[in-house]
């Protein structure tokens, strides 16, 4: 679906065709859930927050500014919602021994052998934990760039930061991750 088609869907929703909103939810559910999951570190909270993000976007759809892409706007809502949630939870830093009782996300299969999967799983866990230890402003950009694979320009629009600051934060976040993961990778 290109930008024009997306705008047509948005117009249809605004005219009262609620079912068309499902098209947008279907398209963006995965990126938004993944983004929020890596921001808050808990799958259950992430899915609830992601639901909230979509409902909020539906209610505020009339205020959507067409000069941005819908995804940019959606990620902006998701960022604000995740940061708001984390601030309320007052968890700035999560320990490496964080609780994983309700952390049961289903990962995409990558077709690796069991041994590779085991090694990959360890790396996955280490990186997931390491991302959780980053300060929010660094976590936000590193997740958008590396997990959601957004461009620097799009991240700049989502976060409302200058392009140079975005690049610098991503670099500094990787540097912090390197320190956290020293000797593991």
- d(Cα 128, Cα 107) in Å, to the nearest integer? 13
User: In the chain, what is the straight-line distance between the N-terminal and C-terminal CA atoms, in Å?
Assistant: 38
Q: Which is nearer to another protein, 69 or 146 (CB)?
A: 146
What is the nearest approach in angstroms of another protein to the Cβ of residue 75?
Answer: 15
Q: Which is nearer to another protein, 97 or 108 (CB)?
A: 108
Query: Which residues contact another protein by CB under 8 A?
Result: 16-18, 21-22, 25-26, 29-30, 33-34, 37-38, 43, 46-48, 50-52, 54-56, 58-59, 105-108, 110, 120, 123-124, 127-128, 131, 142, 146-147, 149, 152, 164, 167-168, 170-171, 174-175, 177-178, 181, 185
The DSSP code sequence of 46-98 is: HHHHHHHHHHHHHHTGGG--TTS-HHHHHHHHHHHHHHHHHHHHT-SS--TT-
Q: Which is nearer to another protein, 6 or 52 (CB)?
A: 52
What is the nearest approach in angstroms of another protein to the Cβ of residue 11?
Answer: 15
Neighbours of 24 (CB within 10 A): 21
Please give the C-alpha separations between residue 82 and each of 45, 50, 101, in angstroms, as whole numbers.
Answer: 10, 9, 21
What is the nearest approach in angstroms of another protein to the Cβ of residue 184?
Answer: 10
């Amino acid at each position: 679906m290109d930008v024009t088609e997306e705008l047509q869907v948005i117009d249809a929703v605004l005219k009262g065709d609620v079912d068309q909103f499902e098209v947008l939810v279907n398209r963006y559910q995965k990126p938004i859930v993944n983004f929020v999951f890596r921001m808050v570190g808990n799958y259950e909270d992430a899915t609830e927050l992601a639901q909230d993000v979509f409902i909020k976007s539906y209610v505020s759809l009339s205020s959507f500014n067409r000069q941005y892409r819908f995804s940019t706007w959606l990620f902006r809502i998701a960022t604000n919602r995740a940061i708001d949630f984390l601030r309320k939870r007052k968890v700035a830093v999560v320990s490496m021994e964080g609780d994983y009782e309700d952390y049961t996300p289903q990962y995409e299969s990558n077709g690796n052998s069991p041994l590779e999967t085991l090694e990959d799983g360890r790396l996955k866990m280490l990186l997931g934990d390491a991302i959780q230890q980053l300060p929010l402003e660094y976590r936000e950009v590193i997740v958008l760039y590396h997990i959601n694979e957004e461009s620097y320009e799009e991240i700049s629009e989502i976060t409302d930061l200058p392009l140079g600051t975005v690049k610098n934060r991503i670099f500094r976040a990787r540097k912090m991750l390197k320190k956290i993961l020293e000797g593991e990778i």
